[in-house]
């Protein structure tokens, strides 16, 4: 073993969920006189103390605008912000920090691709292929684009288990498809899509691919070089970092060829009333003052993940999902929505005769936080003939005891609402 490997092994502590929980202050909170059981990490993850401290440290010690100042605070802020960009590059194994564009989140990143790449590279009659289980953020931008330039949106259906099968993608393929956009993991079902294989199919046909990685980055390692995807988007707040910060990875050649999505300060080299010369990557896509604290906080979140046994954390999540699924299958009248063979830590379900919102309110009274509704994935609900589901989603800070408490509260809710 190399000296570097020895250092890494010494730095990373074996995964222990109880020790990990101590890193997340909010988990000590009581809700409605009960200990908080937070099962809504697919909506947003909780933040470790290291991230919270990084935000406070920036605002109390280094608060200044970036890239523009020669004074010490500006230089410190710029260094921390750009260090965070490099941490993101390393986290997803991008080739260059110039390929890492900071955005407001996954939604903003997908809109950037739609308005900067697709609007300029696609034409009327070209087709865009998406999946039936996509989040609205990976549907609406493409609909808007199709309305403006005359492209055609095509949808690949999922099967009864909520799986997007590669065979279905192949059957849906036509020579007119120039762009496809798929979620890495479904937020509503937990299904893991075969994005590597879809990427290979797209490239064989000369098409480009956008991957919505919002749900994937917190549940396993993401390697954009191995995926060979053209674009990959994700949000900081789904990755134990702050809200309002996100990332678009794009292959450098594509980003170089794309015009800026927005204009303003910090994305220019020279401005005259006659013409403007844009800044180099990644800055030509980052108009205006960025979410500096958010970027620094995201960097702190990645440092935190680097300090723990992330592979052990992912394995723990899988055990939690298996444990919760087994308990759910024993509940009379409970139907699991999304039974894919490859799943992340999402348990979406309905109970006969009980509205998901009523269930969520009762569980909240017992300190259990779940999500109810359509989860910004209304076509999925329509596919299963539902108005919505109840969704429990897990992170590595959850425990088996919490799942037991969840199902105990669920039993009480069933008795109350029956």
Q: Is 234 helix (H, G, I), strand (E, B) or coil?
A: strand
pLDDT > 50? residue 6: no
Residue with tokens 């299904």: 191
Sign, Cα dihedral of 302, 111, 376, 29: positive
Q: Are 377 and 387 in contact (CB under 8 A)?
A: no
CATH number of the domain residue 26 falls in: 3.90.1150.10
- The last residue of a domain, from among 255, 281, 306: 306
Whole-Å CA distances, 331 to 327, 369, 374, 410: 7, 19, 22, 9
Rg over alpha carbons for the chain, rounded to the nearest Å, is 22
Least Cα distance to 298 among 231, 248, 246 occurs for 246
Are residues 291 and 343 part of one domain?
Answer: no
Residue 177: strand pairing partners: 127
Q: Are 412 and 362 in contact (CB under 8 A)?
A: yes
- What's the 3-state SS for 2-26? CHHHHHHHHHCECCCHHHHHCCCHH
Q: Where are the beta strands (DSSP E) in 104-168?
A: 127-131, 152-156
* Count of CB atoms situated within 10 Å of the CB of 358: 15
Are residues 362 and 236 part of one domain?
Answer: no
pLDDT > 50? residue 10: no
Write the pLDDT tens digit of every residue in 171-221.
999 999 999 999 999 999 999 999 999 999 999 999 999 999 999 999 999
Q: Which residues contact 332 (CB under 8 A, 6 or more apart)?
A: none
What does the alpha-carbon distance between residue 23 and residue 323 come to, in Å, rounded to a whole number?
24
- The last residue of a domain, from among 244, 273, 306: 306
- pLDDT-based confidence at residue 13 (cuts at 50, 70, 90): low
Are residues 146 and 192 part of one domain?
Answer: yes
What does the alpha-carbon distance between residue 242 and residue 294 come to, in Å, rounded to a whole number?
5
Are residues 315 and 298 part of one domain?
Answer: no
> What tokens were used for 288?
């205006």
Q: What is the DSSP string of 343-362?
A: B-SEEEEEETTB-HHHHHHH
Phi/psi for 340 (5° steps) reads -60, 150
pLDDT of residue 7: 43
Write the pLDDT tens digit of every residue in 52-75.
999 999 999 999 999 978 999 999
Query: Catalytic residue numbers?
Result: 376
- pLDDT-based confidence at residue 12 (cuts at 50, 70, 90): low
Q: What is the average pLDDT value for the chain, to the nearest integer?
A: 95
Q: Is 261 helix (H, G, I), strand (E, B) or coil?
A: coil
Residue 192: strand pairing partners: 185
Query: What is the domain extent for residue 191?
Result: 53-306
- The last residue of a domain, from among 306, 330, 364: 306
Are residues 347 and 257 part of one domain?
Answer: no
Sign, Cα dihedral of 293, 296, 302, 308: negative
pLDDT of residue 69: 81
Write the pLDDT tens digit of every residue in 314-337.
999 999 999 999 999 999 999 999
How many domains are there within the chain? 2
Residue with tokens 């609402």: 417
Are residues 187 and 203 part of one domain?
Answer: yes
Are residues 118 and 33 part of one domain?
Answer: no
Q: How many CA atoms lie within 13 A of 250 on its CB side?
A: 22
pLDDT of residue 142: 98
Are residues 281 and 177 part of one domain?
Answer: yes
Are residues 84 and 209 part of one domain?
Answer: yes
Whole-Å CA distances, 206 to 177, 254, 325, 381: 9, 14, 40, 33
Are residues 221 and 249 part of one domain?
Answer: yes
Are residues 73 and 31 part of one domain?
Answer: no
- pLDDT-based confidence at residue 11 (cuts at 50, 70, 90): low
Write the pLDDT tens digit of every residue in 125-144.
999 999 999 999 999 999 99
Are residues 230 and 343 part of one domain?
Answer: no
CATH number of the domain residue 122 falls in: 3.40.640.10
């Amino acid at each position: 073993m190399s000296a570097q490997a020895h250092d890494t092994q010494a730095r990373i502590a074996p995964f222990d969920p109880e020790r990990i929980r101590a890193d997340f202050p909010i988990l000590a909170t009581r809700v409605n006189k009960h200990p908080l059981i937070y099962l809504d990490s697919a909506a947003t993850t909780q933040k470790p103390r290291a991230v919270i401290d990084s935000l406070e440290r920036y605002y109390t010690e280094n608060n200044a605008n970036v890239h523009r100042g020669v004074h010490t605070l500006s230089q410190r802020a710029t260094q921390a912000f750009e260090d965070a960009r490099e941490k993101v590059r390393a986290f997803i194994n991008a080739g260059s920090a110039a390929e890492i564009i900071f955005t407001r989140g996954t939604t903003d990143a997908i809109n950037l691709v739609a308005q900067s790449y697709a609007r300029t590279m696609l034409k009327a009659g070209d087709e865009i292929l998406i999946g039936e289980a996509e989040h609205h953020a990976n549907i609406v931008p493409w609909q808007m684009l199709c309305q403006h330039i005359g492209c055609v949106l095509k949808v690949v259906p999922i099967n009864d288990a909520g799986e997007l099968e590669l065979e279905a993608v192949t059957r849906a393929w036509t020579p007119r498809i120039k762009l496809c956009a798929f979620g890495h993991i479904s937020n509503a079902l937990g299904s893991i899509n075969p994005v590597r294989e879809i990427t290979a199919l797209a490239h064989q046909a000369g098409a480009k691919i956008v991957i919505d990685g919002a749900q994937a980055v917190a549940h396993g390692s993401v390697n954009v070089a191995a995926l060979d995807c053209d674009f990959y988007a994700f949000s900081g707040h789904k990755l134990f970092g702050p809200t309002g910060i996100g990332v678009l990875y794009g292959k450098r050649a594509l980003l170089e060829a794309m015009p800026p999505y927005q204009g303003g300060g910090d994305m220019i080299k020279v401005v005259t009333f006659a013409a403007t010369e844009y800044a180099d990557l990644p800055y030509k896509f980052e108009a205006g003052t960025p979410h500096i604290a958010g970027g620094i906080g995201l960097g702190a979140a990645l440092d935190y993940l680097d300090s723990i046994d992330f592979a052990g954390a992912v394995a723990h999540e899988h055990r939690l999902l298996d444990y919760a699924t087994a308990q759910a299958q024993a509940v009379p009248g409970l139907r699991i929505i999304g039974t894919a063979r490859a799943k992340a830590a999402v348990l979406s379900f309905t109970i006969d005769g009980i509205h998901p919102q009523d269930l969520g309110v009762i569980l909240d009274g017992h300190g259990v936080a779940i999500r109810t509704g359509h989860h910004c994935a209304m076509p999925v609900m329509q596919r299963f003939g539902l108005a919505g589901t109840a969704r429990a989603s897990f992170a590595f800070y959850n425990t088996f005891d919490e799942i037991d408490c969840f199902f105990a509260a669920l039993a009480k809710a069933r008795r109350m609402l029956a």
